[in-house]
Amino acid sequence: MSAGPGRVDAQPVPDRRPPCHRGGWRATVRPDPLCVTVAGVLLVGTIGIGWSAAAEVRLPVDRDLLRAADLDLVLAIAGRNAVVAATLFSGVTTAGVSTLLALPVLGIYVGVVVRAAVTALGAAEASAVLAPFLVIEVAAFVLAAAWGLGPTRAALGAWRDPQDRAARIRSAASGYVAAAGASLYGLPVVGALLMTAALLETWSGVPG
């Protein structure tokens, strides 16, 4: 619709909020899909590297060990994994650098441990023992890393907006802070996954 004399058509105001703040609380809790993809590919890829490098590693496994869950052991395993998840999440405060550094180290370690367990137990038994808790742990670590990368992703997205340099800096900083706050909503999800994995790992019969 054309404007009359002396009138200027109103231009739509772009939504410069980070993706985590668009769409209500569900969008706030949901990690950025690109961050999930980056974290997942990097972790799974380096698990493969660890697997390939551990052909000669041997891990003694007592099949009769830890058949019943022990609360202290569950808490110890969950606490250990919580430290790992916190390291992955710490990218919130380091522009994602600590997350990107920690993911390959974690992936190689997991790959080495899985290959050693397969060597000790055989593929079938190792899969039955490891899969129930390892899949949940990996999912928790990927989510923690994705939320750790979220603020950087939001800032980069805001920086690409067609504004002057000062406005882009303000928009990127605002997006980073907002996304960092939104990432905190993911911590209970990661904690619940790690506690579930710790229970399953304790019952599996494999030393933590």
| DSSP annotation of 208 | -
Tokens for 11, please give them: 């231009």
Nearest-10 crossing angle of helices 71-89, 187-203: 140
Calpha distance 105→47 (Å, rounded) = 9
Residue 156 near residue 38 (C-beta atoms within 8 A): no
Show pLDDT as tens, one digit a residue, over the chain (208 residues): 445 555 545 555 455 455 545 544 455 568 899 999 999 999 999 999 999 887 766 666 555 544 445 777 888 899 999 999 999 999 999 999 999 999 999 999 999 989 988 888 888 888 888 888 999 999 999 999 999 999 999 888 877 666 677 877 888 888 889 888 889 999 999 999 999 999 888 876 544 4
Q: Which residues, 6+ apart, have CB-to-CB distance to 185 below 8 Å?
A: 28, 29
The whole-model pTM stands at 0.79
Please state at what angle helix 97-121 crosses helix 71-89, rounded to 10 degrees. Answer: 140
How many other CB atoms sit within 10 Å of the CB of residue 117? 22
Neighbours of 83 (CB within 10 A): 8
